[in-house]
Structure 1
Amino acid sequence: MKSNTSTQNKLYMIGNAHLDPVWLWPWQEGFQETKATFRSALDRMNEYDDFIFTSSSAQYYEWVEKNDPAMFEEIKLRVAEGRWVIVGGWWVQPDCNIPSGESFVRQGLYGQRYFKEKFGVTAKVGYNVDSFGHFGMMPQILKKSGMDYYVMMRPMPNEKGLPGRLFKWESDDGSSVLTFRILFEYCSWSKDLEKHIRRCETELRAPFDQLMCFYGVGNHGGGPTKENIESIKRMQLEDETAELVFSSPNDFFAEMEERQLPIPVVHDDLQHHASGCYAAHSGVKQWNRRAENLMAAAEKMSSIASWTTGQPYPQDYDRAWKNILFNQFHDILAGTSIESAYEDARNEYGESLAIAARGLNYAVQSLSWNIDIEEEEHMKPIVVFNPHAWYSRVNVEVEVGGLKDEHILVDDESRAVPFQSVQPAATCSGRTRLSFIAELPSLGYRVYKLTMNPSVPKSSASPIQASDYTLENDRFRMEFDPQTGYIASLMDKRAGVEVFRDLAARPVVIEDKTDTWSHNVFHFNRVIGQFKAESMQLVEHGPVKSVIRVKSVYGNSRLVQDFTMYRELDQIDVKATIDWREQFKMLKLVFPVNFIFTRQSYEQPYGFIEREHNGEEEPGQAWIDYSGITREHNTVYGVSLMNDSKYSYSIHNKEMAITMLRSPIYAHHDPLVPSPNGHYSFIDQGIQIVHYSILPHEGNWETAGTVMRAAELNQRPITVIETYHKGSLSQRDSFLSVDQDQVVVSVLKKAEDSDDLILRAYETTKSATRAVIRLPKWNRIIEADFGPCEIKTFLIPKNADAPVRETNLIEW
């Protein structure tokens, strides 16, 4: 019999079942295991009156609701009773580095609303126990989604030191959530739990003498077993070290709040675990980036068309988002699942992309069809839409038919616009691909016209200076090394700055014999080779841009990089086509930078973070920046690297790098050592295309437009080849604008519960500001104070007499 003791030591026993719906098995198996796990938890509740079960992820409940309605009703009763505790509040437990900021918002939007609709509750505790790291802006998103608390496990103590198991995690806007790092494991074996409990008891130290202990068979589901529960009951009578109580994270956090403990504050992202996951499986990461951005553009244009022309807002956007959210599950998006799982992921992302493309097309063609375009023989109107809420000056490429030598391009004011023909998609006569620089109104459109009107003078623009080895416009001169094909010099003529200190855009091959996750590996730096140029050629040269194509080879792999310099734009765009045939190797593009006293910034979801230049592999979104002081003039200067599909970077001293790919075995997990004679399937074999941009800039990235340029690379202009017709819309218009460049409107969508609109914006530079957002067509002006990196959401009623109001991320 347990003796009387004055200790306050307590372990809150958290019965759970970690369910990976996809990992070493396909989603269909995860579907079945979800039902089996939920059935087991309900059976344990029938057998033990004090047993409490904790579970997350709205997707699992939707599966059960649609496949076993009777069991779903049982769960509803247990939730109402308080013994089945819903946590997480998200659609799944996603990778917590790679999705966009808006994807994390939608995890909560769809998860919390589902739980409220079906069970009458929302989650109070964020819950990502197996995700491989956690971006630093997450506290704000959790807080504004109704969750004041958070449970995580990775990185573990050997991967990141934290001041305690319990801490306040704070993001740059000042939001904080009380956070708990799980002791040892989120799951347990199916037998007696005494050893597990004993090791957890060693972590009890006053005043933090009450902690959570997670138990239950997991990964492939399962949950607490009879033997688990019986062993806890036995130890409740015998254990003199700590009180053991069946409980939930909700109760634990409530008790910790009441105790008013001296809780430390952590203001940082939580890294690093499984650093190889930032780059593993280029395909799923590219599908994810494309789907997120196409959905964002589609929602914005569908919202505008709905309120402008009456075009019905698509009803299937929620299906598209749920596909995206499910495939952001941490073992799918991280690249660590079996090969066949990525066929399913490709199909679901494909469905989302098709839904988004269809909705976007309905929207822009509804708008373009209502533009008043005059009749003119041989004239071909091109309507160009800007999906961004800022004035945008971008390269537009569009395929047209019937182009003649007499055609010239003009804008809506009949001013000639330089254009050039580039290689079309079709290898046949009669089709041409045009390239021109468009100047586009903020979240609006502009009509350009191919005309043969003899009264309009042709553009007199001349090409930049170019050869097979050099490109030079008014701002930059770029030279290539003829032997290697690397950038030998990038000179900013205006600033008098040599951007790179050595050969740049260098394709470096690194030995990488780690498993799919790269467990316990933080640096990838064993260089074993480099691609070398086979040929270099000026392949495009006209009044808009010039392009040098560098073809390189390494082993059986090939790399083609098309370097583009524009006459009018201050960035270098690169299209990289990689045909990768290597195994147990990694490819990085390396850029040695020529600055001192530097700071290194990485985009993270709905924010950014500064990190050391220690060479560690780091997660990032669409851009990184390296800024400092120039050696030549002692002035502030920097360079941003932006891309459309990569998330893994490293900066070692003065060398910044994008990790383009790595090729481990699919779903290979240490400590298993692959047989030298084994036959395995390797990731990232074959062809992939990546677009990246180099943006040198005077001053820092905050004033250089890095955030906007990266967004333009990922959400490109939309074009519609029109005809002449009468209409109520003008040939150039803007529907939304913001007076502060540092405030970005990321979302314009239909509200979940009405035909009103939801507008979301965030501050990008960690600097408080007051912004004015205008929607002139509806006489709406929103004035708002933004804190550093603050996300704000506004509901704009369709009823013009009703005021705009700020709401949370769940739209409540």
Structure 2
Amino acid sequence: MPDIKKIYYFASTHWDREWHKTFQGFRFVLVSRINEIIDVLEKDPSFTTFIMDGQTIVLEDYCEIEPDKKEKLMKLIRDGRIVVGPWYTMPDEFLVSGESLIRNLMIGHSLAEAYGSNAMKYGYICDIFGHIAQMPQILNGFNIKGALLGRGTNYHNCPAYFIWESPDGSRCITFKVPEEMGYATFWYDVYEPYQFGRDPDKENIIKRACTYVDKERKRSDVPFVILMDGMDHERIHALAPWVASRLSEIYGCPVVFENMENLVKELNEYTDQMPVKRGELNETAKMPSNHNMLITNTVSSRYDLKKENDTCQILLEKWMLPMMAVGELNGFGIQKTYTDIAYKYLIKCHAHDSICGCSIDAVHKDMHYRFRQVKSIGNEVTNAVISHLSRNTSDDETSDTRLLTIFNPLPYPRHETISVTIDFNQNFKTKFKELAGNEIKNGFKLINEKGEEVPYNLTSISYNSFTSRPGYFFRNEADLYTISFTADLSPMGTTQYLIVPYDKPVRYLNEMATSDTSCENEYIRLNINSDGTINILDKETGKEYKKLLSYIDDGEIGDGWHHAGLVNDRAVSSLGSSCIIEKIDDGPAACTFRVTNYMKVPKRVIRSLHGNNRSDEIVELKISSEITLAAANRWVDVKTTVDNVALDHRLRLKMPTGIDTDEYYASQAFCFVKRKTGFDRNTGEWKEPSLAEKSFENIVMKRDNNGDGLAFISEAGLHECAALDDKDGTILITLLRSFSKTFLTDGEPDGQLQQLLEYKYRLVPLRPSDSFADIVRCKDCLQAGVRAVSSRVKESGLPLERTSAFSLTGDNVVLSLIKRPENQEKSSIIVRVSNYNDDCSTALLRCMYPIEKAYETNLLEENLATAVSDGDTLKIELKPWEIKTYRIILKGL
């Protein structure tokens, strides 16, 4: 064992902004903690550095209450005495998008600068519940080369220092905190007995500190020891300089209070002694310690929060930010502050104890308020741009001819069946009445730019309904007609159709249904089985996926962190329940069946002195799924609603893929990870045994050895899957966990989710030629959808136009974001792309204006190198699994 070269003493605290108290409850404590930090540091110059938990939001929270002390705080930050950043809030990695992680770090860096300092260039992720594969690449994008973490790793196969590598080869020198109490182990072992009066002898602090140092130096041959005295909401330890001085005397080496990024510089000399760990870090905990648990099931708690968060991220990333960029190119700029405010509301919800759904009910109520603010801002901004882009189609109230303008926010052409709602004026002239039933309908045809009639399904009519339209301040009353049809959409732009009044009945009599329970298109045959499950036949490959979409319901006595089943459990399958099969829409564009399962499940868990049992009292769980096969689509879309009237239970969707392989793929931010099916059965004696349940961002899939397979794509809210190692190749998706247990309470109701819950997802049969990027683009289409505006125009109509602001072509390259730059540079656009492939990939981005200059940038949007462009086209080259950001300066604006 080498001598210790240096001991780093990281004086710190860990600040959960909201958890078992609300934000305001914890802020009341925060103010006194920071006041004490300021007081101690001002009085003791030997206490040179304090680490503010890697977050900057605490600065705003504190200064809102203590504005008169802001300058004192800023002076300590400017002098490097208080180290802040790089995060705004310490997030969960699995439950938020890659763009949200980037934005979180961007805000953290900006706020640190506003308070007088650069953000700490260190990946401080000390309490996150496992780690995604691409986190080292994201950190490197901010020039962060080191990280500190614990969960997802184990002593038996991971030393104190290791190299953590992303799929693209990006690396971080990483310190694994001790397992006993994680980042708080030094505090617990050394300070806690003195602090709580169990051992008032100060000298014993030094004895315990020496014991700790000796234990830590055995975890690695690298000659540095790290001490961290922070605990959740812990106060500063004024004794720290004295402890450091005594340890320096005893070990004959410096004991320093420094910025964590200095450690990385010294560790660079010892990387050859460090093992490399690649990809995600998601091992469950072996050692029976207090802290080091992965805590897998946070990804399935509080579905309502997860869905709201995903919905907000989709709105900002797929609509608001790209539309602000497109608006700028069309002479309609919108203040960047709307983006700043929306993202701060959102990222306040991304703190790990918040988004993970493991806090008290009051915290999660506050989150719903923030999500509403994000949606309100995002929709107002998006609709304002749409209104501006539609300004040349203002209503001509003398005409019933309408111009339908469809907006596609994605930079890819789309050939698919879409659904839009048209708001007809109530005095629309050409109406017809069916022979029976007296239902009166508007007679109209849909005409494309070639003058061709486009058949459509009339899906629903809502008469006398108030509706909002871009450009109108008040809501107007209208008759709303929802139609579906096959469209060819321009990339990131508009496609127009005419809605022409027709004075005869308009009926499209072609149908996709082949029986009361089946339908097909060019690619897929869909059959509804008598038990409510479905079969999907891929007509090209001949592969059939059978008995999909049954449900399993079992007991739940866990909490927001963990699923806990019962010893005396009863798992109920929907295969034994009654069901009703209805055909609710059929025509040339799509066919939709509604399958309603009535599952009889125990009402609740009965807790008694003799144990826990699911009740004998039964309730009926109504699960209704609308299953749609559209004419142009190579997938089946499903909308499932669950009327959750049961308590204390877990409900999962079951899909036996029939693919008997021992691997599956799950999406994460900017990549896919390949995992083994099932779980490690050798972990039965571990503190936290291996689980089949694991996270996925929004896609989980299995493929056979030929490359055929089945993908499940979630629109929003679903993030826990289990790929079993059974002969049926089963994939389970957790739809909900109902529980009442919250930390340090006697139980609360909101986690039971007693409400109507809605899920949207897509089942995609895979061919060998389908790449990861193809599947991600399919997900993007599901999430983004389209937006449409219709305006009354003169009967002669207008020349139908197509517009396209940006188009991206490249087999394996996917757009992550298009936006205005943070510095609001005139004529400038930021574009971020990623390569979903093991090989180098190229792509072309075509812009609506010629490119004057283009640069590769880091994630802070700082120029790194000149990029290659030709006319209006940016040439993109990416290494395997690389994320790359470009700044494009356009001419002619």
- CA gap of 1:227–1:527, structure 2 versus 1, over 3 A, is farther
Alpha-carbon distance, 1:716 to partner: 1.3
Once the two structures are superposed, the pairs formed by residues 447-462 of structure 1 within 5 Å of their partners are 447-452=496-501, 462=510
Alpha-carbon distance, 1:797 to partner: 2.2
Aligned to 1:564: 628
Judge which range, 338-347 or 788-797, deviates more. 788-797
Say which SS state the counterpart of residue 26 (structure 2) adopts: helix
Once the two structures are superposed, the pairs formed by residues 242-391 of structure 1 within 5 Å of their partners are 244-259=255-270, 261-272=272-283, 273-296=294-317, 297-313=319-335, 315-370=337-392, 377-391=399-413
Deviation sequence 1:658-705 (CA, Å, 0-9, x none): 111111224247xx9x7xxx7755332211111011001211541682
Aligned to 1:769: 841
Of the candidates 471, 474, 498, which is equivalent to residue 544 of structure 2? 498
Aligned to 2:594: 549
- CA gap of 1:781–1:9, structure 2 versus 1, over 3 A, is same
Aligned to 2:41: 45
Aligned to 2:573: 530
Residue 812 of structure 2 aligns with an amino acid whose one-letter code is Q
Deviation sequence 1:133-169 (CA, Å, 0-9, x none): 11111111111112111111212527xx643221111
Aligned to 2:525: 477
Q: Distance in 2 between matches of 1:666 and 1:339?
A: 10
Alpha-carbon distance, 1:723 to partner: 2.9
Q: Distance in 2 between matches of 1:599 and 1:524?
A: 30
Task: Tell whether the 8 Å contact from 1:102 to 1:606 is kept in structure 2 after alignment.
Answer: no
- CA gap of 1:313–1:738, structure 2 versus 1, over 3 A, is same
Residue 445 of structure 1 aligns with an amino acid whose one-letter code is T
Aligned to 2:817: 747
Task: Tell whether the 8 Å contact from 2:2 to 2:223 is kept in structure 1 after alignment.
Answer: no
Aligned to 1:805: none
- CA gap of 1:426–1:32, structure 2 versus 1, over 3 A, is farther
Aligned to 1:125: 122
Aligned to 2:533: 486
Q: In the alignment, is residue 85 of structure 1 matched against residue 83 of structure 2? A: yes
Once the two structures are superposed, the pairs formed by residues 99-114 of structure 1 within 5 Å of their partners are 99-114=96-111
Say which SS state the counterpart of residue 611 (structure 1) adopts: strand
Q: In the alignment, is residue 444 of structure 1 matched against residue 493 of structure 2? A: yes
Task: Tell whether the 8 Å contact from 1:236 to 1:244 is kept in structure 2 after alignment.
Answer: yes
Q: In the alignment, is residue 7 of structure 1 matched against residue 3 of structure 2? A: yes
- Normalising by the residue count of structure 2, what TM-score does the alignment of the two structures yield? 0.81
Aligned to 2:640: 576
Q: Distance in 2 between matches of 1:383 and 1:787?
A: 38
Q: In the alignment, is residue 179 of structure 1 matched against residue 174 of structure 2? A: yes
- CA gap of 1:466–1:35, structure 2 versus 1, over 3 A, is farther
Q: Distance in 2 between matches of 1:99 and 1:162?
A: 28
Alpha-carbon distance, 1:337 to partner: 0.8
Aligned to 2:695: 619
Of the candidates 196, 203, 213, which is equivalent to residue 227 of structure 2? 213
Aligned to 2:806: 736
Q: In the alignment, is residue 690 of structure 1 matched against residue 759 of structure 2? A: yes
Question: Aligned pairs, how many?
Answer: 774
Task: Tell whether the 8 Å contact from 2:658 to 2:730 is kept in structure 1 after alignment.
Answer: no
- CA gap of 1:699–1:23, structure 2 versus 1, over 3 A, is same
Alpha-carbon distance, 1:276 to partner: 1.0
- CA gap of 1:293–1:149, structure 2 versus 1, over 3 A, is same
Deviation sequence 1:315-348 (CA, Å, 0-9, x none): 3111001111111110010010110111110111
- CA gap of 1:180–1:425, structure 2 versus 1, over 3 A, is farther
Task: Tell whether the 8 Å contact from 1:572 to 1:693 is kept in structure 2 after alignment.
Answer: yes
Judge which range, 317-326 or 656-665, deviates more. 656-665
Identity of aligned residues (%): 20
Q: Which runs of 5+ in 2 are unaligned?
A: 195-204, 284-293, 432-441, 466-477, 602-618, 680-691, 852-871
Alpha-carbon distance, 1:179 to partner: 1.1
Residue 237 of structure 2 aligns with an amino acid whose one-letter code is T
Deviation sequence 1:529-585 (CA, Å, 0-9, x none): 123233111111122111111111233322111111112211100001111133332
Say which SS state the counterpart of residue 354 (structure 2) adopts: helix
Task: Tell whether the 8 Å contact from 2:404 to 2:788 is kept in structure 1 after alignment.
Answer: yes
Alpha-carbon distance, 1:246 to partner: 3.5
Task: Tell whether the 8 Å contact from 1:371 to 1:729 is kept in structure 2 after alignment.
Answer: no
Alpha-carbon distance, 1:311 to partner: 4.4
Q: Distance in 2 between matches of 1:115 and 1:397?
A: 45
Say which SS state the counterpart of residue 400 (structure 2) adopts: coil
Q: What RMSD over aligned residues (CA atoms) do the two structures have, in Å?
A: 3.1
Deviation sequence 1:233-280 (CA, Å, 0-9, x none): 55555x559874434422322222245552221112011411110111
Q: Distance in 1 between matches of 2:379 and 2:326?
A: 16
Deviation sequence 1:406-459 (CA, Å, 0-9, x none): 31111222211121121346697943222222211111110122112689x989
Alpha-carbon distance, 1:736 to partner: 0.8
Say which SS state the counterpart of residue 560 (structure 2) adopts: coil
- CA gap of 1:298–1:459, structure 2 versus 1, over 3 A, is farther
Q: Distance in 2 between matches of 1:453 and 1:426?
A: 19
Say which SS state the counterpart of residue 132 (structure 2) adopts: coil
Of the candidates 509, 516, 521, which is equivalent to residue 553 of structure 2? 509
Aligned to 2:685: none
Deviation sequence 1:619-678 (CA, Å, 0-9, x none): 11121111114xxxxx43111101112111110121112111111224247xx9x7xxx7
Q: Distance in 1 between matches of 2:701 and 2:277?
A: 24
Of the candidates 771, 779, 783, which is equivalent to residue 702 of structure 1? 771
Q: Distance in 2 between matches of 1:724 and 1:299?
A: 30
Q: Distance in 2 between matches of 1:426 and 1:608?
A: 46
Once the two structures are superposed, the pairs formed by residues 187-198 of structure 1 within 5 Å of their partners are 187=184, 188-189=187-188, 191=192, 192=194, 193=205, 195=208, 198=211
Residue 538 of structure 1 aligns with an amino acid whose one-letter code is K
Alpha-carbon distance, 1:602 to partner: 0.9
Task: Tell whether the 8 Å contact from 1:182 to 1:213 is kept in structure 2 after alignment.
Answer: no
Task: Tell whether the 8 Å contact from 1:598 to 1:627 is kept in structure 2 after alignment.
Answer: no
Aligned to 1:807: none
Alpha-carbon distance, 1:525 to partner: 14
Q: Distance in 1 between matches of 2:121 and 2:258?
A: 15
Task: Tell whether the 8 Å contact from 1:311 to 1:366 is kept in structure 2 after alignment.
Answer: no
Say which SS state the counterpart of residue 792 (structure 2) adopts: coil
Q: Distance in 2 between matches of 1:729 and 1:35?
A: 63
Aligned to 1:632: none
Judge which range, 187-196 or 784-793, deviates more. 187-196
Residue 790 of structure 2 aligns with an amino acid whose one-letter code is I
Deviation sequence 1:64-89 (CA, Å, 0-9, x none): 34442343322222233332223x41
- CA gap of 1:679–1:516, structure 2 versus 1, over 3 A, is closer
Say which SS state the counterpart of residue 11 (structure 1) adopts: strand
Q: Distance in 1 between matches of 2:790 and 2:152?
A: 51
Of the candidates 775, 782, 785, which is equivalent to residue 716 of structure 1? 785
Task: Tell whether the 8 Å contact from 1:622 to 1:642 is kept in structure 2 after alignment.
Answer: yes
Q: Which runs of 5+ in 1 are unaligned?
A: 630-634, 802-812
Q: Distance in 1 between matches of 2:641 and 2:760?
A: 9
Q: In the alignment, is residue 657 of structure 1 matched against residue 741 of structure 2? A: no
Q: Distance in 2 between matches of 1:357 and 1:234?
A: 59
Judge which range, 303-312 or 357-366, deviates more. 303-312
- CA gap of 1:773–1:788, structure 2 versus 1, over 3 A, is same
- Normalising by the residue count of structure 1, what TM-score does the alignment of the two structures yield? 0.89
Alpha-carbon distance, 1:226 to partner: 3.2
